[in-house]
Structure 1
Amino acid sequence: LFYKKYNEEGEEYTLYALSGARHEDFAHLPVIRHTPILDPTLRGEHIVRSDDITKDPRYGQNRPHHGMPEGHLPVRSYMALPVVTRSGNVIGGLFFGHPEPGVFSENEEELVKNIAGQAAAAIDNARLFEAKQQAEQKARLIIESIPQMAWTALPDGSLDFFNRRWLEFTGQTAEQAQGEGWQEVFHPEDLSLTVDAWQRSLSSQQDFEVEHRIRCGADGSYRWHLSRGVPVKDCDGNILQWVGTNTDIDDRMQAQKKIREREKLFREAEMVGNTGSYEADLATLRFSFSDNLYRLLGYEPQSFVPSLDFIDAVSHPEDVADARPIIKKAIRDKQPYEYVRRIYRPDGQMRYFTVKGKVTLDKLGSPVKILGKVQDITEQKEAEQVINKHLTLLKQAEETARIGSWEYDIDTGALHWSKGMYRLFGIPEGSPVKPELYLDYVIEEDRPVAERIVHHFRESQEPLEETIRIRPNSQVVTMRVKAVLLRDKQGRGKKTLGVNLDISEIKQLEQENLELRLDQQKGLLLAILEA
Structure 2
Amino acid sequence: MADAFPFLPAGGLTGAEIRARDWSATPLGPPEAWPPALRNALSLMLACPTAMFLAWGPDLRCFYNDAYRPMLGYRLDTALGSPFREVWGSIWGEIGPLVEATLAGESRTLTDVMLDLSREGVPERGWWSFTYSPVLDDDGRINGLFCVTSETTDRVLGEAALRESEDHFRHTVELNPQVPWTCDPDGNVTSYSNRWLELTGQAAGEPDGAGWAKALHPDDLAATMTAFAASLSTGEPVDVDYRIRLARTAEYRWMRARARPRRNGSGEIVQWYGVVEDIHDRKLAEDALREMNETLERRAEAALAQRKLWADVFETTDALVAALDRDYRFLAVNRAYADEFAAIYGVRPRVGDTLLDVLEGHPEHLAAVRAAWSRALSGEEFTLVEEFGDPGRRRTLYELRFTPLKDATGRRVGAFQYARDVTERLRNQERLARAEEALRHAQKMEAVGQLTGGVAHDFNNLLTIIRSSVEFLRRPNLPEERRTRYLEAVADTVDRAAKLTSQLLAFARRQPLQPEVFDAGARIGGIAQMLNAVTGARIRIVTEVPDDPCHVRVDPSQFETALVNLAVNARDAMDGEGTLSLRLFRREALPSIRGHAGAGGAFVAVSIVDEGAGIPPELLTRIFEPFFTTKEVGKGTGLGLSQVIGFAKQSGGDVDVASEVGRGTTFTLYLPHVDPPRRAEDTRDADIEEDRGGWPLCVLVVEDNLEVGRFCTQLLEDLGHSTVWAHNAEAALVEMERMPFRFDAVFSDVVMPGMGGVELARRLRSQHPTLPVILTTGYSDVLARDDAHGFDLVRKPYSAEQVARALRAVLNRQKRR
Query: Does the alignment reach a TM-score above 0.5?
Result: no
Query: TM bucket by the smaller chain?
Result: 0.3 to 0.5
TM-score by length of 1: 0.41
Whichever of the two has the greater Rg, that structure is 1
Higher strand share: 1
TM-score by length of 2: 0.29
